[in-house]
Chains A and B, each alone.
Chain A
């Protein structure tokens, strides 16, 4: 929550973030216990060597539990970090981390539409002072409608790049359905772009498969978001 400009919206976001962060932390606790118990079962099986009938099948089961625990823990980690982005309206952050996080969490929605969602982060981007949670909302709002304009097995590839003191986020699309518009993302609420100090330059049709662009400027610290 902002110490300089408290308002109901920020307080509600921080509240939602706190609940999600707390629950994802609890998930990780349960996953940690599950992993140790499964690991202990593995240890006990290893001590039995070949004497225990069905040992191989049990070992396969514990390996499967391990894989699921690892996948769920990765998801819980992303969810926890996503939640903490709502702690403060303004902060300095890595654009790649913030964008990578929301794309990871949005992959489920891409999978349900039979398309891929990929991220191509540019190395060496300087930290950006802005609103990370709002940026995630804008990126999410940009990619979600793109899925409907793609053929099955299509892909949305989000790429970051430095553009002077700004950061450029380009949304490339592959396997676009015939007749789709040049700019595939819907109108993002102008107040969101304004609050982010972001611009959406017009997109040239079919230029490198780019179907939407965001240009982000740092928010001056005194503006308070």
Chain B
């Protein structure tokens, strides 16, 4: 399988860039951006849209919930894993149909890698032309 393509969206720059670096060390193609506006611009212009977006829930300007809606409207096959500081259970329950999963910061890397793997597999299986996908 081709390496998972991961887009990290978090306004905490050092967190996002370091996490991207660590994922890239583990055979992923991870890119970090620091606001939802840049994430949406990248998704709209990229040759290859990401398999998975790791999306921070609370960000200035466009927050994680608005970004989630925009991403799903553009391409519903992109899997989203929310990053959250406190669990925010009620918010997560409210968007459970739009996201694959969520992860509480500080991130448990092995757990995150597992979730990225599952998300990538799910998305690629559903792509047109994929075995068992929506051709």
A113 beta carbon closer than 8 Å to chain B: no
Chain B residue contacts of A40, Cβ below 8 A: 18, 21-22
Q: Which of B12, B22, B58, B107 contacts A43 (CB 8 A)?
A: B22
Q: How far is the CA of A25 from the CA of B105 in the complex (A)?
A: 10
Q: Mark A43-85, 1 if CB is under 8 A from B, else 0.
A: 1000000000000000000000000011001000100110010
List of B residues within 8 angstroms of A69 by Cβ: 106
Point out which of B14, B58, B104, B105 has the most chain A C-beta atoms below 10 A from its C-beta: B105
Which of A28, A33, A37, A43 has the most chain B CB atoms closer than 10 A to its own CB?
Answer: A33
Contact B18 A28, beta carbon cutoff 8 Å: no
**A153 proximal to B (CB < 8 A):** no
CB distance from B10 to the nearest CB of A (A): 9
B114 at the interface (CB under 8 A from A): no
Secondary structure class of chain A's binding surface, majority of residues: helix
Q: Mark A1-41, 1 if CB is under 8 A from B, else 0.
A: 00000000000000000000100110011011111110110
User: In the assembled complex, which residues on chain A have CB atoms less than 8 Å from the CB atom of B58?
Assistant: 25
Give complex CA distance A36, B109 in Å.
9
Choose from A35, A37, A43, A80 the contact partner of B86 (Cβ within 8 Å): A80
B22 touches A33 (CB 8 A): no
Give the complex CA separation of A24 and B87 in angstroms: 13
Pair A37/B14 contact, Cβ less than 8 Å: yes
Q: When chains A and B are docked, how far (Å) is the Cα of A13 from the Cα of B8?
A: 36
Please provide the chain B residues from 49 to 96 with a CB less than 8 Å away from any CB of chain A in the complex.
58, 85-87
Known interface pairs A28-B105, A39-B22, A73-B106. Does A33 touch B86 (Cβ–Cβ under 8 Å)?
Answer: no
Q: How far is the CA of A73 from the CA of B85 in the complex (A)?
A: 9
Beta-carbon contact of B15 and A28 below 8 Å: no
A39 in contact with B109 given A29-B12, A32-B12 (CB within 8 Å): yes
Q: Are B18 and A37 in contact (CB under 8 A)?
A: yes
A39-B109, A40-B22, A43-B22 given; A33·B85 CB < 8 A: no
Residues of chain B within 8 A of A33, CB atoms compared: 12, 14-15, 18
B21 touches A28 (CB 8 A): no
Across the interface, do A43 and B25 meet the contact criterion of CB distance under 8 Å? yes
Contact check, A35 vs B107: say whether CB atoms are below 8 A apart: yes
With a CB–CB cut-off of 8 A, which chain A residues contact B40?
A: none
What are the residues of chain A within 8 A of B85 when measuring CB–CB? 25, 28-29, 32, 80
A199–B86 Cα distance when bound, in Å, is 33
Cβ contact within 8 Å between B106 and A32: yes
Chain A CB within 8 A of B99 CB = no
By a beta-carbon cutoff of 8 Å, the part of chain B in contact with chain A is: 12, 14-15, 18-19, 21-22, 25, 58, 85-87, 104-107, 109
Can you add 8 more A-B contacts, CB < 8 Å, to A36-B107, A80-B86? A25-B58, A31-B105, A33-B15, A36-B19, A36-B106, A37-B18, A73-B106, A81-B86
* 13 residue pairs bridging A and B, Cβ less than 8 Å apart: A21-B86, A25-B58, A28-B86, A28-B105, A29-B15, A29-B85, A29-B105, A32-B85, A36-B106, A43-B22, A43-B25, A77-B87, A84-B86
Q: Which 6 A-B pairs have the closest CB atoms?
A: A36-B18, A35-B106, A32-B105, A32-B106, A28-B85, A80-B86
